[in-house]
Homo-oligomer: A and B are copies of this chain.
Amino acid sequence: MKQVSRAPELITTQWFNSDSPNSLEANLGKVVLVEVFQMLCPGCVSHGLPQAQQVHNMFPKSEVVVLGLHSVFEHHDAMTPTSLEAFLHEYRVTFPVGVDAPSKAHDLPQTMMTYGMRGTPTLLLISREGALAGHHFGQVPDLRLGAEIAALMQGETVPRKDDQIDSNIRPDSVVDNTCTDAGCTVKDF
């Protein structure tokens, strides 16, 4: 196996739809799709989460693992784990969902910070070797996502990043945000 740079681990405080914590490490050898969302992000509810659920239902779980990550960067009081749990129940989300660990100094949670995400929904694809192979903000066509997953299933090892990851995010400057049908964007990103 070629040596590849591992994607940063998910930093979470608790998990729903799962008896125990989940991690990228524990899923080495499988393709992992991480659906990063906020429960009050319209674009996540209308297409990001249904698409992730469809991947969860369609691909063999021994080869493709779907994990949700609730990365709240706004309205923190409105999107608590208690609200999230009811949301997952009512919207019939059945794959494991972790809560992205809050940061002490600013609004963006830790995993979101680490990956330099631009907002929600964000979809990460992790190769069998644990490398970051896809990083999409907004809506990804089903046809393309299916093709990317299948390529990773067959052992593509070269990391591929569709969105450039920007480590220069300055969360201190985050004051407000804007949601559209496509998603919710971190302010001044």
Contact = CB atoms under 8 A, between A and B. Distances in A.
Interface of A: 40-42, 45-46, 51, 54-55, 58-59, 74-75, 77-80, 82-83, 85-87, 89-91, 141-151, 153-154, 156, 179, 184
Given A58-B141, A146-B144, A150-B151, A75 B79 contact: no
A90 B54 contact: no
18 contacts: A42-B91, A45-B45, A46-B46, A54-B141, A55-B143, A75-B86, A77-B82, A78-B85, A90-B179, A146-B146, A146-B149, A146-B150, A147-B147, A147-B149, A147-B150, A150-B150, A151-B153, A154-B156
B90 A83 contact: no
A40 B87 CA distance: 6
Contacts of A58: 141, 143-144
A128 to B, nearest CB: 14
Contacts of A147: 59, 146-147, 149-150, 153
Contacts of A83: 40, 77-80, 83
A54 to B, nearest CB: 6
Q: Most chain-B CB neighbours within 10 Å: which of A58, A142, A145?
A: A142
Contacts of A46: 46
Given A58-B144, A147-B147, A147-B153, 9 more contacts: A46-B46, A74-B86, A75-B89, A78-B86, A142-B142, A146-B149, A147-B149, A150-B154, A151-B153
A90 to B, nearest CB: 5
Q: Most chain-B CB neighbours within 10 Å: which of A74, A85, A147, A153?
A: A147
A148 B75 CA distance: 38
A144 B142 CA distance: 8
Nearest to A184: B90
Given A78-B85, A142-B141, A149-B147, A42 B90 contact: yes
